[in-house]
Amino acid sequence: MKNNVKESLKPIHSEGRIGQIVVLDKVGVSADDQLHQFEQPHLFRIISKEGEGWDTVYKLESLASGKKITLGKYDSSYFYDASEWAYDMRDEKERQKKKVSEKIEDLKGKIAMLTDILTKQGNRVIVVSDEEEIKFMKKIGIIN
């Protein structure tokens, strides 16, 4: 990961196109940086491009506020194609849901094992009803 973004998501560098929508997301900038004024994630449109390679300079317009900024040589490494970024964010949410579901299944197995052990030791075990479990899973967004 670089700037908290997966390596498969490539910054625009010199590959941006006029009219392209790009996103600034998960980038820590200092208070005096021009990018600090924008809440992240933030969408911009490339309105001009000059230079080539690392010397590429972009002029961007905020889709939310209409403010215009000019990116220097290295700032373009903080910006990603908005459609690629959106697909990546969707995939990341799916990976997170899958991870949570796997953890829940693991915990259910451990609970079943502990319940079995405690019951065999003569203890009474009270479990949450399925209805309450479903409500909880809806509340934390695992199921709809």
Q: Following DSSP, what letter does each residue of 18-84 receive, concatenated?
A: TT-EEEE-S----TTSGGGGS-SSEEEEEEEEESSGGG-EEEEEETTT--EEEE-TTGGGGEEEHHH
Contacts of 48 (CB under 8 A, 6+ apart): 18, 58, 59
Give the CA angle between residues 30, 31, 33 to the nearest 5°. Answer: 65
What would you report as the CA-atom Rg of the chain, rounded to the nearest whole angstrom?
Answer: 24
Long-range contacts for 83-87 (Cβ within 8 Å, ≥24 apart)? 83/21, 84/9, 84/10, 85/9, 85/23, 85/25, 85/41
Domain boundaries of the chain, sorted by first residue: 96-139
Coil, strand or helix at 126: coil
Q: What is the pLDDT of residue 1?
A: 47
HSE of 132, CA atoms in CB hemisphere, 13 A: 3
pLDDT, one tens digit per residue, over 7-43 is: 578 888 888 999 999 999 988 888 888 899 999 999 9
Q: List pLDDT tens digits, range 111-122.
A: 889 988 998 998
Do residues 47 and 18 make contact, with C-beta atoms less than 8 angstroms apart? yes
Mean local confidence (pLDDT), 96-116? 90
pLDDT in the model for residue 126: 66
Task: Please tell me the predicted confidence (pLDDT) of residue 58.
Answer: 94
Choose among 78, 94, 92, 80: nearest CA to 9. Answer: 80
The per-residue pLDDT for range 41-97, each reduced to its tens digit, is: 999 999 999 988 888 999 999 999 999 999 887 888 889 999 899 888 888 888 888
